């Protein structure tokens, strides 16, 4: 027997079946226990209550208090504005804006009355979009340098606290495309949007913590190595001030130059730099004529080349790496027990001052440079690092720094609550099993209500055990640190 609902859908099925009396009858739920014939739409009502859609943001509130983030920002930015919203309030609001997953500044309207957001920022009323953007436009270059200082301190404090004896600092640039004529942007190399104006900042990341140490903001029409030498030297000095015993770095072929290589050697930094051997016909012929290659495994082999550019006063270790790759076959597939395969070789050359380590160790170390591309890609997708919100240069710089700081805070939150794995792999992988900001937002974006029973401020959330354990774990870790 089939019962049809008012919209023609099957609501229940009841069939008479033969029952064997010698077998026990199976226990089944009755139809009233399963079916809920609910058709009425509840009446909608909107009232002024202390409800929040971001109850999980309390985990970052505890982290902000432990790091004294608001006080740090207030100490490094100017206080010339006489209005209620100081520059550090506006910058911290940018950080929270990114942590919540919002991109465009106008999306601030979705949390303008949220009590938890107001408490985290220490404001009773959030600024309008126009007030926010005007305030950010009045930020000076000195304020931007101050925010960079706070970001570096957050990363260096973690390196110092964990007593990481060997730090790997990777350097690379990344294109940030604009959709208009933004101040300070220029038309340069842009693989995805050819002809578009862009910025091309140089990032320094720490491989062990997966965080951004610093950035050098530049227009989009500069080479990777533009102003890189001073930036690299400052980053090395700041890392060395934490007491680390060894500093390493990895770079791509755009940073191959005599000045950078000898400066790194002078600073006693272990490095590996991709060598663009196509630019040197002599080196290219040497690799092509090479007959003896030392086997690493079934795919990789290497050869040490005694070569250096003629204009260099000295030389470093030049390591040629060869990878065996199958050649794609065209035509129909041969369907028998023997499938012939042809192989060819891909070559790459590494310039390094690591002369003691085996070639396999140097190769793995250099290939670990791809983790920096993963960090930058994650920050672009989860922290909107690739978004350019305005035409003013200082506003765009502030947003980029806020994205970097939001990414670093997500890492800091997890490092404070998770034990360190203490692994030191040849690729210099991160020392913690990190989750992305997208995953952390599963805890942040939770409904809740603020009440004061018996005068005690209380945040009530749903009884989801998974959410409760995560929130309590992060809050307790922040308080215990």
Instruction: Give 421-478 as a 3 state SS string.
Output: CCCCCCCCCCCCCCCCHHHHHHHHCCCEEEECHHHCCEEEECCCHHHHHHHHHHHHHH
Cβ neighbour number for residue 194 with a 10 Å cutoff: 8
pLDDT at 341: 55
- What gap in Å lies between CA 408 and CA 403, rounded to an integer? 9
Return per-residue pLDDT of the chain as tens, 481 residues.
Answer: 444 444 344 344 444 444 566 666 656 778 777 787 777 777 776 666 789 999 999 999 999 999 999 999 999 988 766 578 899 999 999 999 999 999 999 999 999 999 999 999 999 999 999 999 999 999 999 999 999 999 999 999 999 999 999 999 999 999 999 888 899 999 887 777 888 899 999 999 999 999 999 999 999 899 888 899 999 999 999 999 999 999 999 999 999 999 999 999 999 999 999 999 888 989 999 998 898 999 999 899 999 998 989 889 888 999 999 998 877 666 555 555 455 555 688 899 999 999 888 999 999 999 999 999 999 999 999 999 999 999 999 999 999 999 999 999 999 999 999 988 877 889 999 999 999 999 999 999 999 999 888 888 999 998 889 999 999 999 999 887 6
- What gap in Å lies between CA 216 and CA 390, rounded to an integer? 19
- What gap in Å lies between CA 132 and CA 46, rounded to an integer? 27
Reported as a single tens digit per residue, the pLDDT across 354-402 is 988 899 999 999 999 999 999 999 999 999 999 999 999 999 999 999 9
H helix and E strand count, the chain:
15, 17
User: What residue spans define the domains of the chain?
Assistant: 53-252+369-481, 272-327+340-366
pLDDT at 449: 92
- What gap in Å lies between CA 447 and CA 458, rounded to an integer? 14
Size (the chain), residues: 481
Would you state the structure tokens that stand for residue 47, as one six-digit string? 């009232």
Phi, psi of 199 (to 5 degrees): -105, 155
- Helix, strand or coil, per DSSP, at residue 302: strand
pLDDT at 98: 97
H/E stretch holding 172: strand 166-173
Contacts of 255 (CB under 8 A, 6+ apart): 171, 224, 225, 228, 273
What are 271's strand-pairing partners? 249
- What gap in Å lies between CA 229 and CA 227, rounded to an integer? 6
- What gap in Å lies between CA 28 and CA 257, rounded to an integer? 77
pLDDT at 84: 80
- What gap in Å lies between CA 207 and CA 170, rounded to an integer? 7
Reported as a single tens digit per residue, the pLDDT across 308-342 is 898 898 889 999 999 988 776 665 555 554 555 55
Residues 236 and 214 sit within 8 Å (Cβ to Cβ): no
Alpha-helix residue ranges (DSSP H) falling in 55-184 = 58-67, 69-76, 87-99, 115-121, 129-137, 141-162
pLDDT at 28: 78
Distances (CA, A) of 151 to 24, 146, 215, 389, 402: 69, 9, 10, 21, 9
- What gap in Å lies between CA 344 and CA 10, rounded to an integer? 62
Would you state the structure tokens that stand for residue 477, as one six-digit string? 């870790």
- What gap in Å lies between CA 173 and CA 202, rounded to an integer? 4
């Amino acid at each position: 027997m089939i019962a049809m609902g008012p919209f023609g859908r099957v609501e229940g099925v009841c069939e008479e079946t033969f029952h064997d009396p010698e077998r026990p009858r199976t226990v089944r739920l009755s139809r009233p226990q399963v079916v809920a014939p609910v058709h009425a739409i509840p009446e909608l009502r909107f009232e002024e209550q202390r409800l929040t859609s971001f109850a999980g943001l309390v985990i970052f509130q505890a982290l902000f208090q432990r790091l004294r983030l608001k006080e740090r920002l207030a100490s490094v930015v100017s206080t010339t504005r006489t209005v209620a919203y100081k520059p550090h309030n506006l910058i911290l609001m940018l950080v929270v804006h990114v942590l919540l997953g919002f991109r465009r500044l106008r999306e601030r309207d979705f949390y303008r009355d949220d009590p938890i957001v107001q408490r985290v920022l220490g404001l009773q009323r959030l600024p309008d979009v126009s007030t926010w953007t005007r305030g950010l436009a009045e930020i000076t270059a000195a304020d931007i340098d101050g925010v960079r200082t706070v970001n570096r301190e957050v990363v260096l404090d973690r390196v110092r606290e964990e007593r990481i004896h060997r730090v790997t600092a990777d350097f690379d640039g990344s294109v940030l495309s604009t959709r208009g004529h933004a101040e300070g942007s220029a038309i340069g190399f842009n693989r995805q949007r050819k002809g578009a104006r862009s910025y091309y900042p140089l990032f320094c990341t720490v491989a062990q913590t997966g965080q951004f140490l610093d950035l050098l903001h530049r227009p989009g029409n500069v080479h990777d190595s533009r102003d890189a030498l001073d930036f690299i030297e400052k980053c090395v000095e700041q890392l060395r001030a934490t007491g680390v015993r060894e500093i390493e770095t990895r770079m791509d072929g755009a940073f191959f130059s005599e000045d950078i290589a000898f400066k790194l050697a002078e600073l006693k930094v272990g490095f590996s730099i991709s060598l663009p051997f196509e630019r040197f016909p002599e080196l290219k012929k040497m690799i092509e004529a090479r007959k003896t290659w030392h086997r690493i495994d079934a795919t990789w082999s290497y050869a040490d080349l005694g070569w250096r550019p003629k204009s260099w006063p000295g030389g470093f270790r030049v390591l040629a790496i060869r990878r065996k790759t199958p050649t794609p076959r065209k035509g129909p597939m041969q369907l028998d027990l023997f499938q012939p395969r042809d192989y060819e070789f891909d070559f790459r050359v590494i310039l390094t001052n690591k002369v003691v380590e085996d070639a396999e160790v140097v190769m793995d170390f250099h290939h670990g440079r791809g983790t920096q591309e993963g960090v930058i890609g994650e920050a672009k997708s989860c922290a909107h690092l690739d978004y350019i919100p305005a035409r003013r240069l200082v506003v765009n710089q502030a947003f980029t720094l806020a994205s970097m700081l939001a990414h670093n805070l997500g890492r800091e939150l997890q490092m404070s609550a998770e034990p360190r794995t203490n692994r030191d792999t040849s690729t210099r992988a991160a020392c913690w099993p990190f989750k992305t900001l997208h995953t952390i937002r599963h805890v942040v974006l939770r409904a809740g209500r603020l009440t004061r029973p018996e005068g005690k401020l209380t945040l009530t959330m749903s009884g989801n055990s998974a959410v409760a354990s995560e929130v309590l774990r992060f809050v307790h870790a922040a308080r215990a640190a």
